[in-house]
Amino acid sequence: MGYFWIFLGFISDLLASVFNIVAFQSDSSSFVSLMAYGGVVYAFICDYFIFHTTISGVQLVFAMGIMLITVAMAIYKYKIETKKNREENSFDMSGDISNTSFF
Number of domains in the chain: 1
- Yes or no: say if 47 and 59 are a contact pair by the CB < 8 Å rule: no
Give residue-wise pLDDT tens across range 24-53: 787 666 666 666 776 777 777 888 888 888
Question: Does 10 fall in a domain?
Answer: no
Please tell me whether residue 43 adopts helix, strand or coil conformation.
helix
Provide the domain limits for residue 68.
28-87
For residues 86-97, give the mean pLDDT: 62
Q: pTM (2 decimals)?
A: 0.51
pLDDT for the residue numbered 101: 53
pLDDT for the residue numbered 31: 67
Question: Does 73 fall in a domain?
Answer: yes
